[in-house]
Amino acid sequence: MSRILYSGNRNASSWAFRAWLALREQGIDFEEVMIDIRRPQRWKNLAEIGTFSPPAAVPVLVDDETVIFDSSAIMEYANELGDGSLLPRDIKLRARARALVAWQHSTLGKLCPCLSFESAFYPDKKQLSADEIVNAEWIYGIWQQQLESIGGTYLVGDYSLADIALVPSVLRLTAHHEIPEHYPLVINWTGRLINRPHVQEWLTQAYALEPIYCQGYYSS
């Protein structure tokens, strides 16, 4: 039996982080192969991934002969391989969790495009523009409402794929803009997320790496 996660640099690959977290949270055994996605070697390394995985991107999980690409598919697979506890049993809450994951996947990642995942690890953070502050606070407001509606510690009650999907966005936004006091549930939730042991394991390795500077970060 062989199960390999082709992952990316700890301080660059937010999508690999999500897939890795779901696998680790479910206690799934896997081997990890780290793909260096820094430029210029990125292109050659991802072309090699493309020889067996159509999107030529990381993460990709190869479980014996089955190639599972895209972080959201890997997260769902991890949950099903495990005990299924990363999605709520209630059908409506489960749909809400999937909606939050899908929103992150389709749209939220593009918010504040100059605040890449890499920038969460820069020792010198830039000042946010007025637009970036508006966007960050808009998101904090939505997270606050979601947490209020559920009255729980995590977005849909128990820790779920929805929380996992949002960890990288939490990091890149909160690294640049402190959460205002009027979002107390978001302050508690983000603190809880960041202190989860598997999140800490990834982050400790990420902070130990040389930062990867993205063009335009300081000039945007």
Ligand X SMILES: N[C@@H](CCC(=O)N[C@@H](CS)C(=O)NCC(=O)O)C(=O)O
Q: Point out which residues bind ligand X (CB under 6 A).
A: 8, 13-16, 37, 46, 57-59, 70-72
**Taking the complex as a whole, how short is the minimal distance between the CB of residue 130 and ligand X, in angstroms?**
28
> Residue 55 or residue 84: which is nearer to ligand X going by CB?
55
**Taking the complex as a whole, how short is the minimal distance between the CB of residue 74 and ligand X, in angstroms?**
7
> Residue 16 or residue 108: which is nearer to ligand X going by CB?
16
Handedness of CA 113, 143, 189, 29 (dihedral sign): negative
Query: Counting every residue, how long is the chain?
Result: 220
> Residue 16 or residue 147: which is nearer to ligand X going by CB?
16
Q: How far apart are CA 50 and CA 58, in angstroms?
A: 10
**Taking the complex as a whole, how short is the minimal distance between the CB of residue 110 and ligand X, in angstroms?**
12
**Taking the complex as a whole, how short is the minimal distance between the CB of residue 149 and ligand X, in angstroms?**
27
> Residue 22 or residue 57: which is nearer to ligand X going by CB?
57
> Residue 13 or residue 174: which is nearer to ligand X going by CB?
13
**Taking the complex as a whole, how short is the minimal distance between the CB of residue 47 and ligand X, in angstroms?**
10
SS3 labels along 17-80: HHHHHHHHHCCCCCEEEEECCCCCHHHHHHHHHCCCCCCCCCCEEEECCEEEECHHHHHHHHHH
Tokens of 67: 């190639």
Tell how many helices (H) and how many strands (E) occur in the chain. 8, 4
Task: Measure the CA angle with vertex 70, ends 119 and 136; round to 5°.
Answer: 35
Nearest to 169 by CA among 145, 131, 129, 142: 142
